[in-house]
Amino acid sequence: MRDLLQVPGARLVLHAAVAVVAWLLLVGLTQVVDPLMNYYIALMAMYATAMFGMTILVGLSGQVSLGNGALMAVGGYVFAVTTLNWQTVPFTSIEMNGAWAMVFAALGGVLIGLLIGALGARLRGPYLAGLTLGVAVGVPAIANRFPELLGGETGLQLTVPYPAGGYAATEALGDEFFAEELPTEQLEELPTEQLEELPTEQGLSGDDVLTMDNFSDAPAGDDVLTMDNFSDAPAGDDVLTMDNFSDAPAGDDVLTMDNFPSDGDPAAVADLGTAGTDSLADVGDAAGASDLGGLDGIDAGFILEQWQAVLAISVACIVAFLALNLVRSRQGRQWRAVRDDSVAAAVAGIAPGRTKISAFVVSSVFAALAGAVFAQILSYVGPGAFGLGLSLSLLVGVVLGGRASLWGAVIGAALLVWLPEFVLRLAGDRGWEEQVTNNAPNLIYGLLVVAVVLVAPGGLVGSVQSLVRRARRTSATSA
């Protein structure tokens, strides 16, 4: 096997085969799991993409970075700004889509990586950590300085993606779709002229209690509609509820306008008397999945979480393929030489400064791609999504998984996604207070980092590799 790998191009083919097989297996997994699991898979792939760059920067080149979350912010914002403001690729007539936006996000990563790498090339230890910490705090705050372009503190809301990639224009999705999807607080922030354009056919829909004012021929008044307003109704002061109707679903909810279909929905009117457990079951089956079927240009079977998972997996596999080849190439050997002894590397003809900058650029590109994927998972970019906590989480994941191994990045990504979920379930079983539940994951992360640094400095993967080497030495000695 070793002889085959010495053939020119053999290692490249092997790495490509590994990436393709991993992609096929993971994409196949997304077809059989529920939307929530697809969401978790997308997060894991996104974190792994960012931590592949952290592995190169921290593990191979020996540079400490507390600012990769800010590098992700660069990718996310470049992606959002290009998709929302550019109809075509600059200097061409090619229509702008998600793939091109990710290319521009990677270019943004190159530029910010060159800048930070050049500033930090002569720094090491706590000084380099301080520089990257300043980047982690300062870069997301830039959005507040340019609210017209970057959305300020509220960020930018992205449009819904098509299954084939790219982003649907607002006109294609329709005003009614966005009017139903926008939360109340976002509707309040819209300008008056935009609010006037929202559809009003359904007029009375809402959660307000049904009152006499909702009926055109009813006496004026603000009293809640009760049984006393009906001449043939039993006397009483009880508020009118669904229980007063013989063919209505059982329940104690106050009758609201949501219980009546709109005039423009004849199908709903026809089905009003037959609504029952079947319709409730249909709603339950659809819960948890963002099914965008029925919109122009979007497949009826399209599930957003599955699309996001496939996208994140595809990017992660491409980045893993690039990282594998870089780690095992001449460039990877130069990174390790500078990490172990920069003076000796310089004597051997390796430029330490240039080598450190190249590591920063590669890590920044990977982080920017992860940020672009993160923006599509959230359908949003904002300062709060790329705060200092994200940068620290990436560093913690690399340390726990193993900072010198790409497998360590994958394990660290899994820990970042599943550890909070495990804590939430444990808190639900034990009845912990909300404040304790919210801070428990951070406490556990800190304790794990301390334990790993003291007991297993190489992380989980490094510990396993050490055990395997010891076992081989023992077997060789005994033989």
The ranges assigned to domains in the chain are 2-169+301-475, 181-286
Q: Which of 134-138, 259-263, 357-361, 402-406 has the highest mean pLDDT?
A: 357-361
Q: Place 85 in a pLDDT band, splitting at 50, 70 and 90.
A: confident
Q: What pLDDT does residue 248 have?
A: 52
Average confidence (pLDDT) over 265-282: 42
Q: Give yes or no for residue 181 having a pLDDT over 80.
A: no
Average confidence (pLDDT) over 212-226: 54
Residue type, 21: V
Q: What is the pTM of this model?
A: 0.72
Q: Which of 190-194, 243-247, 406-410 has the highest mean pLDDT?
A: 406-410
Q: Is the model more confident about 155 or about 209?
A: 155
Q: What pLDDT does residue 240 have?
A: 55
Ramachandran angles phi, psi of 9, nearest 5°: 85, -10
Cβ atoms of 169 and 95 closer than 8 Å: no
CA distance 116 to 391: 15
Half-sphere exposure of 352 (CA within 13 A, CB side): 19
Half-sphere exposure of 364 (CA within 13 A, CB side): 26
CA distance 260 to 438: 40
List 291's β-bridge partners, or say none. Answer: 303
Ramachandran angles phi, psi of 254, nearest 5°: -65, 140
The string over 365-394, giving b where at least 16 C-beta atoms fall within 10 Å of a residue's C-beta and e elsewhere, is: bbbbbbbbbbbbbebbbbbebbbeebbbbb
Domain 2-169+301-475, second-level architecture: Orthogonal Bundle (1.10)
Q: What's the mean pLDDT when you consider all of the chain?
A: 76
Average confidence (pLDDT) over 371-378: 92
CA distance 279 to 270: 13
Q: What pLDDT does residue 443 have?
A: 82
Q: What pLDDT does residue 2 have?
A: 58
Half-sphere exposure of 3 (CA within 13 A, CB side): 0
Q: What pLDDT does residue 154 have?
A: 86
Q: Is the model more confident about 19 or about 298?
A: 19
CA distance 184 to 203: 15
Q: What pLDDT does residue 153 have?
A: 86
pLDDT (tens digit, 9 = 90+) per residue, 131-160? 999 999 888 888 888 888 888 888 888 875
Q: What pLDDT does residue 355 have?
A: 92
Q: Give yes or no for residue 290 having a pLDDT over 80.
A: no
Q: Give yes or no for residue 10 having a pLDDT over 90.
A: no
| 262-271, 320-329, 399-408: segment of lowest average pLDDT | 262-271
Q: What pLDDT does residue 223 have?
A: 53
Q: Give yes or no for residue 179 having a pLDDT over 50.
A: no
Q: What pLDDT does residue 21 have?
A: 95
Q: Give yes or no for residue 363 having a pLDDT over 90.
A: yes
Cβ atoms of 391 and 66 closer than 8 Å: yes
Q: What pLDDT does residue 30 have?
A: 93
Q: What pLDDT does residue 272 have?
A: 39
Cβ atoms of 231 and 220 closer than 8 Å: no
User: How does DSSP assign 347-414, residue by residue?
Assistant: HTT--HHHHHHHHHHHHHHHHHHHHHHHHHHHTEE-GGGGSHHHHHHHHHHHHHH-TT-HHHHHHHHH
Among 461, 381, 469, 416, CA closest to 140: 381
- Per-residue CA distances from 381 to 155, 211, 314, 406 (Å): 5, 41, 21, 27
Q: Give yes or no for residue 288 having a pLDDT over 60.
A: no
Q: Which of 179-188, 216-225, 349-358 has the highest mean pLDDT?
A: 349-358
Q: Place 462 in a pLDDT band, splitting at 50, 70 and 90.
A: confident
Residue type, 264: G
